[in-house]
Structure 1
Amino acid sequence: MLRTRGRVVVIESLTELDRRLALGARRLTGWRLTGLDLSGHGEALRVCDTSRSTFVGCSFAPGQAEDLAAHGALVLPGVGAVPVDPHRRTLYTADELYDTADYARSLDARAYAWLQTEHGAEAALARVLHDRAVDDALGTWRTGRSLVGVMGGHAARRGEPDYRDAARLGRLLAQDHVVATGGGPGAMEAANLGARLAGESAETVSDAVTELAAVPSFRPSVEAWVAVARRVAGVVPEPGVSLGVPTWHYGHEPPNVFATAIAKYFRNALREAILLEVCDAGIVFLPGAGGTVQEIFQDACENYYAEPHSVAPMVLVGREYWTHTLPAWPLLRALARGRPMEPHVHLVDSVDAAADLLHR
């Protein structure tokens, strides 16, 4: 079933595209256009906001693809054969996903393009086998490790206060645990960065964030975003271990390069469940939006029904944010009342206080 509501709109025919444009659609953020001949739609698309839209396997008039990319769209060539190994035995690395400097031709982009264009039974089976293989590899990788999760918004830009806080949190948590995130940009990237620099000083982390801020977002250029991150990552000869668990469901958001191990899944629902499950040492929830709120209550549901010995701590950072901006805290506290999870849910004002709660 193709999604046509929420953050994703899938367009696979010119008839559907023309219908939506005729109805006045001009903001194409979150749209995925696949396999279309758009050479005659240059002017129609030029007046639209195509930032964070994705064009997969489409054909264009000369210069049209470059113009879309310059305005923040992700333009990917079509992919026929399965680009990933459905039977792989290890987790991914950033170098494997970014196997070429041209992001549109990288393994990460090819896998996303293939997901968008191949819908037959064989493709579906390959994706199931792949995700099962990644799941098995993750089970082996996490053995003997204590994982703590950091959940937060993908929109935090490098150099902003929220990004700096997440980087500091990642460094603090990594002194005692392995940090796990959703593996994407924003707060996720920052936490993986802090964990990677766990053996360095707080000043080194701050300097790294300042250097990254020269390219604050992966829009309009994923290549520039990755290049500066690779420079920062290469400074540390022995990086701290951390995990990223991204998904090609949100393939328009590239994975960050700071996680030393990457469990990338095709199915987002599976990825969400696995990410929460592996964080046995607890989860810190930074300010975020719909996805972070979903993760809070998905984790709360697990803790609500858990045996007392298996309840994992939940720490929400930002008293004003979680009580007024998005008041998840009152409901979480009410849900926990009288349950074994009650003493394990916390609301704090700073990432330092969150790290103190999860200190072993």
Structure 2
Amino acid sequence: MSDPRPRPVPNGPEIETISALDSALASGSPLHGLRLQDLDLTGHEADLLGRADVEGMVVLGGRLPPALEGHLRAHHALIFPTDPHAPVNPYRATLYQPHELYAGLDERGYEQTPDAEAYHWSRDAALHHDAFVTLLRAIHDDSITDALGEFIDGRPVVGVMGGHALERGTTGYAVAARLGHALAAAGLLVATGGGPGAMEAANLGAFCPDPTRLDDALERLAVVPSFRPDIAPWARLALQIHDEVMEAGRARAVTSVGIPTWFYGHEPPNVFCDGIGKYFSNAIREDGLLARCTAGLVVLEGAAGTVQEVFQAATRLYYAPEGTAVPPLVLVGSEHWRERVPIWAGLQALARGRGMETALHLVDDITEVPGLLVG
């Protein structure tokens, strides 16, 4: 008597583009175990309806005609549904671009952009204990993690941390922007928490390859110094400058990435990034950001959130296996970190006698920073 249960099949490659799917179909190889992520299969209905070798195929979101969905299910493919009411795509294969998150800003205001709606969708699910939305959030964050790895693709990454309250037009904002510019000029990919304040400034500096254009951007952004009380004019001005930089330097290198979170609904994402990896889970976002800072971490002046990131990074350095190289941790602003938020002494005490000791640096001049990092 035959066993009606589907047989285990090995995992196949991930297919994230229609061109990759076309190549797989043209190769004549079996389709067992393929992972199709966020694809519109409407134009491939005829190609796939004639194939019975789809056992173990996994279809993650995308668009699927009813007849093709029935055929795949009948041949033991796995179909993962999405929620048509979700403001974001849980199965996306790439990082966000600024205009995606701020779509509709001019017509409807910030509260009806995908960015704001994603926050409310997430919070509503938490309040009502919606297991399906919670699952989709987790799938979304895993998709972002995968996309972030592909985006970074082995580049040396330097993290820049700092407070979200730092206003445009201030000396501190300009310092953070010039730091980001210097780090990108040194060949590093600048990664921040993707929010406003010091994070926006560092992303802006890295994003602008031309110092003259950076000076112009700093002057123009000062007209709208904060995202409070209204996010719309803050974001609208930044998007205009973003588009001008992109138009002027179409062949510019990828220099900047933001990794924000919807956990802090009051912090909108900044737009000066070549890619935005926005997460629902702040814990996953924080850990992933710090883990990717292979060239080191630079910490500008900040408060509670910045201090949390410092000690998360310090924990990694403290427990690094003996004899392994550890990335530098550079704090900028000796008065701030010695007096106003006096964590420097604690970091030194933790580092004493460990490999972490040589990784700690406290500076006042940002021109010292690039030379302290791993190239």
Partner of 2:221: 212
Judged with a 3 Å threshold, the aligned counterparts in structure 2 of structure 1 residues 88 and 310 are, in CA distance, closer, same or farther, namely farther
Partner of 2:17: none
Whichever residue aligns with residue 180 of structure 1, its letter is A
Pick from 360, 368, 375: which aligns with 1:345? 360
How does 1:140-289 map onto structure 2 within 5 Å?
Answer: 140-175=150-185, 176-197=187-208, 199-201=209-211, 203-236=212-245, 237-238=248-249, 239=252, 240-289=254-303
Partner of 2:102: 98
Where do 5+ consecutive residues of structure 2 fail to align?
A: 1-82
Whichever residue aligns with residue 188 of structure 1, its letter is M
1:113 Cα deviation after fit: 1.0
Q: Quick check: 1:87–1:129 contact (8 Å CA) kept in 2? A: yes
Deviations 1:161-193 (A, max 9, x none): 111110000000011200000000000000000
Deviations 1:19-39 (A, max 9, x none): xxxxxxxxxxxxxxxxxxxxx
Q: Quick check: 2:158–2:295 contact (8 Å CA) kept in 1? A: yes
Q: Quick check: 1:311–1:340 contact (8 Å CA) kept in 2? A: yes
Deviations 1:295-343 (A, max 9, x none): 1111010011113434110000001111111111111111111101111
Partner of 1:135: 145
The normalised TM-score by structure 1 is 0.75
Structure 1: distance between partners of 2:275 and 2:294: 17
Partner of 1:71: none
Deviations 1:237-284 (A, max 9, x none): 335521100000012211001011000000111111111011110000
Partner of 1:30: none
Judged with a 3 Å threshold, the aligned counterparts in structure 2 of structure 1 residues 195 and 139 are, in CA distance, closer, same or farther, namely same
Matched, 1:107 2:111: no
Q: CA RMSD in A?
A: 1.5
Partner of 2:27: none
Pick from 331, 340, 355: which aligns with 2:370? 355
Q: Rg bigger for which structure?
A: 2
1:144 Cα deviation after fit: 2.2
Structure 2: distance between partners of 1:138 and 1:104: 27
The normalised TM-score by structure 2 is 0.72
Q: Quick check: 1:148–1:281 contact (8 Å CA) kept in 2? A: yes
Whichever residue aligns with residue 103 of structure 1, its letter is Y
Q: Quick check: 2:158–2:297 contact (8 Å CA) kept in 1? A: yes
Q: Quick check: 1:170–1:191 contact (8 Å CA) kept in 2? A: yes
Matched, 1:332 2:343: no
Instruction: Count the aligned residue pairs.
Output: 280
Q: Quick check: 2:295–2:374 contact (8 Å CA) kept in 1? A: no
Whichever residue aligns with residue 199 of structure 2, its letter is M
Of 249-258 and 237-246, more deviation after overlay is shown by: 237-246
Of 254-263 and 94-103, more deviation after overlay is shown by: 94-103
Structure 2: distance between partners of 1:194 and 1:287: 17
Q: Secondary structure at the match of 1:180?
A: strand
Structure 1: distance between partners of 2:174 and 2:318: 32
Structure 1: distance between partners of 2:339 and 2:317: 24
Partner of 1:304: 318
1:80 Cα deviation after fit: 9.2
Whichever residue aligns with residue 334 of structure 1, its letter is A
Q: Secondary structure at the match of 2:257?
A: strand
Structure 1: distance between partners of 2:298 and 2:274: 20
Q: Quick check: 2:336–2:342 contact (8 Å CA) kept in 1? A: yes
